[in-house]
Amino acid sequence: MTEPTEKEKMLRGELYHAFTPELVAARARCKHACNRFNNAGEVSRRRLVELWRDIVQDPTPLPPPLDDPAADEAQFKRDPWIEAPIHIDYGFNVRVGEGVFINFNCVIADTCLVTIGARTLIGPNVSLYSATHPLDPAVRNGTEGPEMGKEIHIGEDCWIGGNVTILPGVTIGKGATIGAGSVVTKLSMEDLLLVPGLSLSARQCGSMADSLHLILRPRCRTRIEPTMRLIQAEIDGQYNNGSRPIIGGTVVTPGYYSLCIELEDECCKADHGDSSSQPRTVHEVCLSSNYIAQ
């Protein structure tokens, strides 16, 4: 059996060595493609789409040019709108849906696949890191050691605020909103608003200094309990590596927390017999200290 190449191991999320001639050349190609896009200046929409497709190695041919500039530009209204500068490692591991907007200074470390669903909005200075390294420094070993990656998936109709960092292995469900400045370590749910700063949840137990910064906007009553169960599972999963997770830009300490629901529309409010727009506490989540490595 033929030994897999370092690129093949990289794409499978296995440990691989990044400084092989094939991968160095692939990063150099993408760097030059990004430079051409970032330095394009005042060019047509057609040219920007062409340069973007070169970055991500999209072989789809451009439509024939039209004499009328406005009509020609209209042919690309479904293509993603990317603001320069953008920085990507490989390009071939990035999939961006129709109608996506990516603001300036976006960084995508696409060691593994990074997908962004249709109509999603990405704020400025957002970083998507699918690359990671061994925690043992002896194994990590600088440029001589191996690294690895985990896929990142952002669903359709999401809003990722400015200065958000999304770490390897994260899946963000359809319609989610991630507040500016958040560090997303593990998230996989729909219709979630995640914000840093002061929590709107009603209380916390014990002497814990931090609180859980989660605000849900359910679209219907039947979504609340399944979403809560999923949150509990996701939070518990944060502790698998023995470290304290970061949710909404804040390190979460163990303890008991109340989650807060903001009812999104009049139908949902009526379903709960609540005509106010005030947040409601509907569920308690336990973050057990047993998961914390002392």
> What amino acid positions are annotated as catalytic residues?
133
Look at the block and give the residue holding tokens 């320069």.
Answer: 84
Q: Name the residue type at position 57.
A: Q
The token duo for 83 is 């603001």
Sort residue 273 into left (φ over 0), alpha (ψ -120 to 50) or beta.
Answer: left
Side-chain-side CA neighbours of residue 226 (13 Å): 10
Burial class (CB in 10 A: 0-12, 13-18, 19+), 156: middle
How close are the terminal C-alpha atoms of the chain, in Å? 45
Give me the numbers of helices (H) and strands (E) for the chain, helices first please.
7, 22
Determine the Cα–Cα distance for residues 272 and 138; give it in Å rounded to an integer.
Answer: 56
